[in-house]
Amino acid sequence: MTGVHHPADVPADSPVLGGLAAEGVSFWLAGLSRPVLADGTLARWIAQAHITGLVLSSAAMTCEIRRAGDHAYREQLGLLAQRHASPEETVRALFAYDARWACDLLSAAHTATDGLDGWVCVELDARLAHDHRSAVEEARALAAAVNRPNLLVTVAAAGAGPAVARECLADGIGVNVSLIHSAERYGEVLDACWEGLERAHRAGRDAARVACAATWELAEVEAAVDERLGAPGGAAGAAALRGRTALALARTAHDLQDRRLDSERWRGLRNAGARPHRLVWSGAGAAESRPDPGRLAARVRQVEEIVAWRTVHVLTRAELAETARRARPRGDSLMGESTAALDVVAALRRRGIRLGPLAADLERRRLRRAERDRRELLDAVQGPPAVRARR
- Taking residues 247-264, what's their average pLDDT? 97
* Chain centre to alpha carbon of residue 171: 22
Give the pLDDT band of residue 235 (cuts 50, 70, 90): low
Domain presence at residue 33: yes
- Written as one string, the DSSP assignment of 219-266 is HHHHHHHHHHH-STTS-HHHHHHTT-HHHHHHHHHHHHHHHHHTSHHH
Give the pLDDT band of residue 12 (cuts 50, 70, 90): confident
- Which domain, by its residues, includes 118? 15-390
Domain count, the chain: 1
- The pTM is what? 0.93
Domain presence at residue 7: no
The continuous run of DSSP H or E covering 126 comes out as none
Query: What's residue 67's pLDDT?
Result: 85
Domain presence at residue 10: no
Query: What's residue 292's pLDDT?
Result: 80
Residue 311 has pLDDT above 60, yes or no: yes
Cα–Cα distance for residue pair 204/197, rounded to 1 Å: 11
Query: What's residue 113's pLDDT?
Result: 95
Domain presence at residue 2: no
Provide the β-strand partners of residue 25: 311
Domain presence at residue 5: no
Query: What's residue 207's pLDDT?
Result: 95
CA distances from 67 to 55, 250, 318, 371 (A): 20, 37, 20, 21
Give the CATH number of the domain where residue 47 resides.
3.20.20.70
pLDDT in tens, 320-350: 999 998 899 889 999 999 999 999 999 999 9
- Taking residues 51-57, what's their average pLDDT? 96
Residue 47 burial (C-beta neighbours within 10 Å; 0-12, 13-18, 19+): middle
pLDDT in tens, 104-142: 999 999 999 999 999 999 999 999 999 999 999 999 999
Domain presence at residue 316: yes
Domain presence at residue 22: yes
Domain presence at residue 4: no
The continuous run of DSSP H or E covering 190 comes out as helix 183-202
Query: What's residue 287's pLDDT?
Result: 47
Residue 6 has pLDDT above 70, yes or no: no
Cα–Cα distance for residue pair 27/249, rounded to 1 Å: 19
- Taking residues 365-383, what's their average pLDDT? 95
Task: Report percent pLDDT > 70 for the chain.
Answer: 92
Residue 255 has pLDDT above 90, yes or no: yes
Cβ-proximal residues to 375 (8 Å cutoff; 6+ apart), any chain: 127
CA distances from 331 to 24, 33, 300, 312, 334 (A): 10, 33, 15, 15, 9
